[in-house]
Structure 1
Amino acid sequence: MPTDLAVQATQHLSHRVSRSPQDLMVHLHRIIASHYSRQIESLYGALLDLFIILDKKGFLLRQRLFNKFASSLSAHQSIALKQALMLGAGKLESLPHCDSSRFSNGMVGSACLVIKTDEPSQHQFSVLDEARDLIDSGLIDDARMILEQAIIQQPDDEHTSRELLELYRYTKDSSAFAAIYAQLNGLPLSLLDEWDALADILLEEKCAEA
């Protein structure tokens, strides 16, 4: 059983999270304090609140936290966080009830989560979130390589195709674009018209620079 001091500490951190929801360090301190004091409900609430605040951002951080602490949670809590990890908490219709959560108002309901059917698959979200994390960190080339690998494996995936096109439009890297464009030739590429149009634009810009 957690001591009164441990409960007071996690409650204090919960209040700090409410006041500063964008402060990731406070979220992490709350998660760790809940875990080491074995306050399972508080741990779930702390993880859930961070997942809600981040939504689809910070996938690698959310994944590490889930992998580290999921075994300490109940089955329903673990399933809920897994869905929030892959889809983003904002895409879930309902979540298992949690009194210790500060930000789940309006999202609490049945433990059976309803996923919107027009969203990408879990694998797609994993790839896209990882790429976006890298872009946010300034690692544009790394993000491009991840998306290129994904589109080669699934050329008909519209979400990956659109993300990669937007990246090429931003970087205007005609050499990288030409290389992947050649590899995708003849494959059932999603948004093919947009790829062809971008190929023409980048070619014109390269000719203008010559």
Structure 2
Amino acid sequence: MQIARDPLDIEAHARRVLLASRPPLTDRAFGALVDLFLALGDRGRALRRQLLEQAMPWLDPDDAHFLRTHLDTELPRGAQLPTQRWSVLDTAVLGSLNMVGLQRREVAQETPFQQAMSLLEYGDLAGARGMLEAALLDEPDHEEVNRELLAIYQHSRDDAGKAEMADKLVARHGALPSGWS
């Protein structure tokens, strides 16, 4: 609590590290050292080294290595720290500082028929019909497109639209696909 009240009380930090370097409080040594490193910033290198050496037998090897790498440089606030729970001054950024990352992935291209079926599922009959008409004009032998477009004309009772599409098919391909006569 004293460190939380006065983070620059170096004597309190040193006492806390020394207390945490003895059983049964050894699980708190890393958090105490992290707080000391954060409070001192880039100053107090000799004190940081001495207290780190005293606590070394109780530290996890990865935690000890992490602190050794920051002896000569400042441990910046908001730095990505190893997981620990006994630090008072740590801003508790665990893991990655990047909350959202951009990922590229291949998206399978939908065929015009699949896109039209999606439009039908959402109730966009006119959009699906337009997409199927364009697909049939490009590929008049596509059976699924042909069958679905004819079903749309039949259910919507749009004989004028069907006749107009038949004229376009004859003009472009010279004949009508099966089922149009």
Q: Could you state the TM-score of these two structures normalised by the residue count of structure 2? A: 0.48
Question: Which has the higher Rg, Structure 1 or Structure 2?
Answer: 2
Q: Return the structure number with greater helix share.
A: 1
Q: Could you state the TM-score of these two structures normalised by the residue count of structure 1? A: 0.42
